[in-house]
Structure 1
Amino acid sequence: MKIFTGAQIREQDKYTMEHEPIRGIDLMERAAKAITFAICSEWTRQTPVIVFAGPGNNGGDALAVARQMAEQGYKVCVYLFNIHDRLSEDCEINRQRLIDNKKISVFKEIKVDFDPPKLDASTLVVDGLSGSGLNKPLAGGFASLVKYINQSPSKVVSIDLPSGLMTEDNTYNIRANIIRADLTLTLQQKKLAMLLADNQAYIGKVKVLDIRLSEDFTKKTDAPYYIQEEDDIRPMLMPRDDFAHKGTMGSALIIAGSYGMSGASVLATRACLRSGAGKATVHTPKKNYGIMQITVPEAVMQMDREETYFSEPVDTDDFDALAIGPGLGHHENTAIAMIAQLRRTQCPIVADADALNILSNHRAWMQQLPKGIILTPHPKELDRLSGNTSNGCYERLMKARDLAEHLQGYIILKGHFSALCLPDGKIIFNPTGNSGMATAGSGDVLTGIICGLLARGHKQKEACQLGMYLHGMAGDLAIKETGKESLIASDLIDYLPQAFKRLND
């Protein structure tokens, strides 16, 4: 699913009107019908409704919704804010239609003074003050109204976007001046702002309403952001030949686990094997030998010369993929060995955890990373790699994108809607997964999955996409049995077979 920018959304509206063809007012009526149906499916006719409409097309949508709800028997009061005595063309048409309608309980057009209505727990507020065209924070009377709505006990439904929230970049927005919606009815597609963690307090539950904007525009227009879907992922799975043997299924090397952190190497290795690799070799300190042999008997052991930490790079000529970092530790000899390993490795690499922490402490080494490398930081690790982020999730996402472009590599910024940043600057979001996966070791499992997929022969982009999706799907399948609170990282590995089976079926 493509995620368009605010400018592209306006182009899509225009293209639809020109090529369907359809008048803007009729397209607005179509959108209002979808919004009205969604609201009426959630709230009964006994619910008093107050609609706040702004002077633009978002306000026009709200006026059309108010009229349609009144025609279905709802008691609707409407407040249209026209303080500059200037409405958009379609908003003006819907204003007149509303005036002509005899079923609206109250209609007030606000040009100067505003005496706000009482908002109680039984009231439903429909927010149509501003939409996806907003490019600066709300101020003045609109900001005061937003604060009044937010402090009330009323339920709030926002049309397209909560008023005050900008479509993409809210870095310098005034958070107090953004509607806190209980339900956002967004038109045609999600907006980038809806995928970022620091905006979740404003959007509430999100429903995407199909208003039949031009499919031709969607197909031919390149979008900077994308949400991958199951239909995108299924074709990526490699068939397993009936005459395959372990030598043809890929050989993975995992460098992980300092003494006391052998669990990270166990999780990564088990996940790698569960992802289809024919053979997994683990390079780990000597003191982890017994633990690894007992917990992952399927793996080949390659012991470091040191007892407790990784100390020397190893030959990778016989391997198809390398994973490095989980539980590796911070010993200075480990850091030197790690960068030497990355420089000399010719096969695809996924680096995580302590490999990233070592790089953040030796930033000059970033220039030595091979093209095509996959880095899988969580937000704090990304901040350490690219500089502290104090202005929110959008800024962090852009830093991850810039880093991927600079390195000509792949950055998976982990979280809900994990974001895969590509070398060409595009970003793919992953929809699977849940908050139960916020548990130690979950990232080690993802590293192992991606390494296994690389070993099987998947290219870096495909391995990242498939790995993110399977990782999240395993979590979604697991919580049906464990619940979110009790989910642990090894559960993700246990449910990987079901995730693969679902995609194969």
Structure 2
Amino acid sequence: MIPILKSDQINKIDAHTIQNEPISSYNLMERASKICFEEINDNLLGKDFNGTIHIFCGLGNNGGDGLVIARKLHQIGKEIKIYSLFWGQNKSFDYQKNEKKVNELNLKIEIINNDSHQFLIDKNDFVIDAIWGIGLSRPIKNFASNIIRRINNYSSNIISIDIPSGLSVEHNFKIQKDAIINAKITLTFEFPKLSFLLPETGNFVGDFKILPIGLDKEFIKKQKTNHYFLKKEDIKPIIKSRKKFCHKGDFGHSLIIAGSLGKLGALLLATKACLKSGAGLVTAQVPGCGYNLVQQSIPEAMVIKDSGEYFLESLIDVAKFSSIGIGPGINKKKITLKLINNLLDNFKSPIVIDADAINIISENKVLLKKIPKNSILTPHVGEFRRLVGNWVNDIERQDKLRLFAIKNGIYVILKGPYTSIGCPCGKVFYNSSGNPGMATAGSGDILVGILTSLLSQKYSSKEAAFIAVYIHGLSGDLAQKKYGQISLNASDIINNIHNAFKYFHL
């Protein structure tokens, strides 16, 4: 997994690498910028691109990166225009060295300042944003913010180097949306930045690609952080392969408690996902109105008919179950509150809690103390707000996530882009799979099924959370390839769970 670090930590890693590799800061800039150039030329511009590439540079090291990229693009015959923004700051040493190299090639650098800031960008041209890097600690104002606004208005083909100009790594000040570059893609060095992963700021980043630039790996491991980015490589080692002489009893017995009149689809989705994710046995507890539907729709599942005809009312004997998932589509009736209370009194292993089960707990906070340790809650943003109250910004939201998980000794999977997993150890992990097409009814019910299935197979809660969010997102990514994002629905996700596991050669 990749640590998500603060700007001062990244600067320390740069300095340590320079001192101990050893490599000069100028050559480190050359190495990083060369990697950016290769990515731009090989994968982003396209073979048929014959327009102009406009490179906007600040006067610091991010601007120095821009000058290196400009020089290399020129050397392979690309049409480029270089602009340097002057607003009173001094040029960095490495910027000056690269400026000299650009001048030796007789390339013109257009100066943009408060008195002179004319430029034109064709809609098909590309822009490379190298104005301001990770050192930004305050909003960009005055003429520089006007330049950013004009760049955004001119072009949708913007490539930001390391971070979109105007955006802070830690998002530690009130953002000015019209003073931040709207990148189509961000090429970021070595680490994702926290602001890339949060709703308030992530849209400025576009897609991002992490480019390793050879920073000292051992020194990186020594950095302390509470935030990590999960990749495929982190998931594969924890997924268990099956032994030749196994049987269904080895993979547990899951209970899905879900559904009510008008919301039986949530029950079907969670139960199907539980089966698709490898549970040995799956039982669905359903209100009477859903009994025949489940029996006929999911022949692999066993079904227990609740005493309530339209809503769940009674707690069955839960002793025989390895794992329980509760919440999708259950409604918030008082009798359902009683069921949840009884479940928390009688089942002491981790439970997966979702949807209306979370809403019931939010309205009856005394139930929080009854939730078994290492249980997994799966709220969306609205449900999480009901649990913890409001927040000022997304940084505070993530702090609330972390502290809530610590206080209650549970895992909280906050669903959304880059779904974040708050752990009772105080760390937060961000998922790298998934796409906007998954913002569709029933998607969260599937996650409940996957989690409940994995718990029944004796994965730890942490392992189950990691695997489930990644498999869930990957299933959505595989479905997107076939159906696109707009037409993607929950059944498409379920129908790709097997392909997601096959992705890991299982």
**TM exceeds 0.5?**
yes
Structure 2 residue 471 is the aligned partner of structure 1 residue 470: yes
1:418 aligned partner: 419
Tell me the distance in 2 between the aligned counterparts of 1:50 and 1:292. 59
Taking the TM superposition and a 5 Å limit, the aligned residue runs for 1:7-406 are: 7-41=8-42, 42-43=44-45, 46-99=50-103, 101-108=104-111, 110=113, 113-121=115-123, 123-153=125-155, 155-169=157-171, 172-389=174-391, 391=393, 393-406=394-407
Contact 2:157 2:183 in 1 (8 A): yes
Q: Unaligned regions of 5+ residues in structure 1, if any?
A: none
Q: What is the Cα deviation at residue 22 of structure 1?
A: 0.5
Cα-to-partner distance string for 1:162-206 (whole Å, 9 max, x where unaligned): 100111326621111101123322222322222223434322343
Tell whether the 8 Å contact from 1:45 to 1:74 is kept in structure 2 after alignment: no
Q: Secondary structure at the match of 1:448?
A: helix
Matched residue of 1:462: which SS?
helix
Deviation sequence 1:359-386 (CA, Å, 0-9, x none): 2222343233222110011122112222
- 2:416 partner amino acid: G
Distance 1:422 1:349 in 2: 15
- 2:158 and 2:494 map into 1 onto residues whose CA distance is 40
Residues 87 and 374 (structure 1 numbering): CA distance in 2 closer, same or farther, change over 3 Å? same
CA–CA distance in structure 2, aligned partners of residues 402 and 181 of structure 1: 32
State the identity %.
38
**Cα distance in 1, alignment partners of residues 256 and 165 from structure 2:** 49
Q: Deviations over 1:329-349 (max 9, x none)?
A: 110121132133123311221
Letter of the structure 2 residue corresponding to residue 88 of structure 1: S
TM-score, normalised by the number of residues in structure 2: 0.91
Q: 1:59-96 CA distances to partner (integer Å, 9 max, x unpaired)?
A: 22223333333444445443333433522232233334
User: What's the secondary structure of 2:406's corresponding residue?
Assistant: helix
Letter in 1 for 2:67: L
Letter in 1 for 2:107: I
8 Å Cα contact 1:48/1:124 also seen in 2: yes
Distance 1:201 1:207 in 2: 14
Counterpart of 1:151 in 2: which secondary structure?
A: helix
Length-normalised TM-score, structure 1: 0.92
Q: Structure 1 stretch 426-435 or stretch 25-34: which is displaced more?
A: 426-435
One-letter amino acid matched to 2:63: G
Distance in 1, Cα, partners of 2:300 & 2:157: 55
Aligned amino acid, residue 140 of structure 1: N
Q: Distance in 1 between matches of 2:263 and 2:470?
A: 27
The one-letter code matched in structure 2 to 1:10 is N
Q: 1:37/1:490 Cα in 2 relative to 1: closer, same or farther (>3 Å)? A: closer
Query: 1-side partners of 2:354 and 2:86: how far apart?
Result: 54
Cα deviation for residue 154 of structure 1 reads 6.8
Cα deviation, residue 222, structure 1 = 4.3
- 1: distance between equivalents of 2:480 and 2:268? 22
Q: 1:436 to 1:75 in 2, by over 3 A?
A: closer
Which of 160-169 and 288-297 deviates more? 288-297
Deviation (angstroms), 1:306 = 2.2
